[in-house]
Structure 1
Amino acid sequence: MNILMFTNTYAPIVGGVSESVQRLKSRLQAAGHRVLVVAPKMEGQRRRDADVIRVTAVQHFNGSDFSLPVPIPGQLYEAIEAFDPDIVHSHHPFLLGDTAVRVAETYGLPLVFTHHTLYEHYTHYVPGDSPRMQRFAVALATEYTHLCDAVIAPSESIHQLLRRRGANSQIVVVPSGVDAQRFARGDGQALRRSLAIPESAYVVGHVGRLAKEKNLPFMAEAVSHYLANHESAHFLVVGDGDARATMASVAARHGVEARIHFTGSLREQRLIDAYHAMNVFVFASHSETQGMVLVEAMAAGLPVVAVSAPGVDEVLRDGKNGRLLKADDVSAMVEALTELADPECRASMSRHALAMAGSFDEARCAAHCLQVYRQVIAAGGPFRHADDSAWERVRARLGAEWRMLCHRGRVLRSMLQDDDQDAPLPKEGTLQDPATK
């Protein structure tokens, strides 16, 4: 099968969507399928990557870690036609996601969309951030699903959220996968030595972008409070971003700045070693759709302390593989970290964490995604290939532009609706969830 993917974030960006796309691509290729990714040009990218098409982009849009693609669709069609895709997979509902719709419509290809992100939590990157902008983000992503033949939700909680919002009913739950066996092997002590963290220290750890939407001030407050009362404890923070200064300031206020260690972004084995240098993993974001780093941490045998949120609730079992907090409660997080300082308590939870991580194996998740592709291809009719006549392609492109215009009209109508009105649940779709087979 030839699979054409569109994503606004890709390597060398370190983040959930970028990692999910790369892992899915690698697994599909390992299974014998061809994958071509369309992504923005980015600083530090590989000079040559035969299976990636790069389009012009504005780097670090509005101070974020993201690039803003400025695609010129006409420049893409020659490469796309040479690839001759069987299906289009969009990983965003805007920018290159719009291009994905145009390509799918032009060639009569089925379009699958993965709803990776709760975009309403990211509107602070857009000038004029406001509740209206958040409603616009919800409407944009929801209406985009109706341009697609199938929608992939990375967790059941996101599936239910999309249904409540009136999204396309053809929703299938397929989580992003993790190579659990690879994350199970790491040299934590070597990383500790490189940071002058004592071998016997109790290390609380976190991995992720240090960005506003990750609820990091609360996490830093809780962990710093714990460190202030436990002199042998350390805080290992893997990742980078604007929130780093805030976290450092919180640690300084508690007098524990010498025991908070910022490594910056780590990749490959160095990242895995960092997980193994930790004793417990903390997470406080409310904006995740799955929380892939939680699964990575569990694959390294770490119990997790996290705040209840979509996606998080499905991998974290309170009292089994960690502690699930009901809300942003400093005292509750400190209490959980105190409980997990006991090695016997951690050992029991570690076994359950490893078992949970095994259920998110990359190969299994990629196989589920491939089954979705096959189902939507089988459900469709005949489609146009790259060798069709120029007139047919022009007519199809006009049709694509008309669909995009109608899409924007639906978004505007949605914006005018009562903000508090709950959309009725759509009827169950006929697309079968491969996870239930």
Structure 2
Amino acid sequence: MKAVDREILRLAVPAFLALVAEPLFLISDAAVVGHLGTPELAGLGIAAVVLQTVVGLCVFLAYGTTASVARHLGAGDLRAALAQGVDGIWLAVLIGTVATIGGVLLTPWLVGAFDTGAEVARHAETYLAIAFLGTTPLLVMLATTGVLRGLQDTRTPLKVAVAGNALNIVLNVFLVHGLDLGIAGSAIGSVVAQVLSAAWLVAVVVRAAREHDAPLSPDRAGILASAHAAIALVVRTLALRACLLVGTYAVTRVGTESTDVSIGTHQIALTLWTFLAFALDAVAIAAQALTGRALGSGDVDSTRQLTRRMVRWGWGSGIVAGLALAAVSPFIGALFTSDPEVRSLLVPVLLVAALGQPLAGVVFVLDGVLIGAGDGTFLAWAGLVVLAAYAPAALWAATLPHGLVAVWVAMTVVFMGARGVLLSWRARGDHWLVTGTPVPR
């Protein structure tokens, strides 16, 4: 088991560092733009929500590619693994092109949907119209990262993430303040950093493809197969994101506290919960890669053993995360706000979230295992079932005394609990243990 633990750590640690580095693109933009003024910062906030939604819905480009590439690697066919990865990259280019054209054309409408003031809307449109030009590079980064993870390489994406973020900060400061380009300079700097980061990752994949004589041209059948496999993961992602949106909506209906206090507290708690999700998701990424490789080699027994071991890792990392969150809950609110009401209400909310971290660790690991197994159809249906169970529970919880805390209890017990039950039930069965690889190109 020590060898398995070393393998998990080898993949999970760089993956965690890269996951933490990803949000720094927008954080560094906010730090630079924030010094321009509040309207500019608000405009960036609106643009960020739109961009994160578009890119978040395309996370299947990383997850699906990791699983398919790892399967071929496990089967000992590195050429087919790279060919599958190249198909995923071409799919990213196609989706990115459509998203870029549509995003630029629809920018005024997307910003207008938030019904902000004219000045904030102007800054949001300026940033978003430029930032959409980086959509294709961002999606290519997702796909190439998925290829490298499938090849059991999480170090290269980490190097690119660190270098890309460093370049983004330098360009932002230079263009925004040095050349006085304002919020447009921030968007330009981010796009340039994203293009160069994507080029670096593509160069790594192309070099490997050439070494193993894998085709680099677009393959219609392969791209369509990748797109078809992605549909289920898109449904899964939409369902889970809808749960988080329902939870936020429920918080706006809480009647026992000030709405501003409830929403502010919820936003801080959700930010911290999301950060911990990044940390726990690192083990899930290792699970995707290792499960795909084991099933590709036809080794069901090893897959079972890996799953059991990674579930223990999920429990352990969740316990550590929960203890850490509980320990900082009385103090961490001061980093986000000076409002005493928010800081006071944040403590019980974070304690509820802390209690749910061990379960979250297991849920993320099992999610990664089933993604690595290519069990997307089940994950899609499970996501819809969880949404159907959580939505009424969250809305009802908002009507209870201490409504915000009750909503977080619903999130822990119903949202994460339902996912845990469904994923554990699936993992105990045999339907997901499909060995071998898809039909080769």
Report the TM-score, using the length of structure 1 for normalisation: 0.31
Task: Tell me which protein shows more strand as a share of its residues.
Answer: 1
Of structures 1 and 2, the one scoring higher in RCO (CA 8 A, sep 6+) is 2
Q: Which structure has the highest helix share of the two? A: 2
